[in-house]
Amino acid sequence: MMLVKDSTLGTGVMSVVMGYVIGVVFTLFGAVIATETSTQTMGAADFMKSTLRNSHRSGKNFALFGLLFGGLDVMLEKRRGKKDFWNPTVVGGLIGGGYGFRYYKYPGLVGGYLGGAGASLLLELLMDKMGMSQR
């Protein structure tokens, strides 16, 4: 029987949920830091409505990113038959290139691919050094 974390759908669902939670928490944390100046211009009720609306929007963006990264990583791993540091590197490059092309067309495609691949490779190597790699 296949475990949920080993299936593409299971990984995608976990990535969506965790991405949404992280996006909401980051936004709420940022709102707490910026509370002093924001509450002076608007009331507490308006501030809470705005904060919750922004945290939901940020949560959706993080959930989409998590779904793309987690799902593509598992699909690439199954296609290649290997679980090494190249899988997240390629996936990070693809997602970075997609986001870069979306906003800056072809220069963004190249910069996004290189930046996404570099960041993914750096994080993967850092996790490997810390003993947290999944191999």
| Predicted confidence (pLDDT) per residue in 38-60, tens digit | 556 777 788 788 888 989 999 99
Judge if 72 and 15 occupy the same domain. Answer: yes
Contact 69, 92 (CB under 8 A): yes
Tokens of 61: 């963006």
Domain containing 125: what range?
A: 83-134
Q: How many CA atoms lie within 13 A of 53 on its CB side?
A: 6
Tell me what pLDDT residue 19 has. Answer: 93
Residue 1, pLDDT above cutoff 60: no
Judge if 77 and 34 occupy the same domain. Answer: yes
Q: Is 95 exposed, middle or buried (0-12, 13-18, 19+ CB in 10 A)?
A: buried
| Predicted confidence (pLDDT) per residue in 45-101, tens digit | 887 888 889 899 999 999 999 999 988 988 898 899 888 889 999 999 999 999 999
Residue 3, pLDDT above cutoff 90: no
Judge if 88 and 32 occupy the same domain. Answer: no
Residue 2, pLDDT above cutoff 70: no
Judge if 68 and 94 occupy the same domain. Answer: no
The total number of structural domains that make up the chain: 2
Which three-class secondary structure string do you get for 6-21? HCHHHHHHHHHHHHHH
Judge if 4 and 23 occupy the same domain. Answer: yes
Judge if 72 and 46 occupy the same domain. Answer: yes
Calculate mean pLDDT across residues 111-134.
90
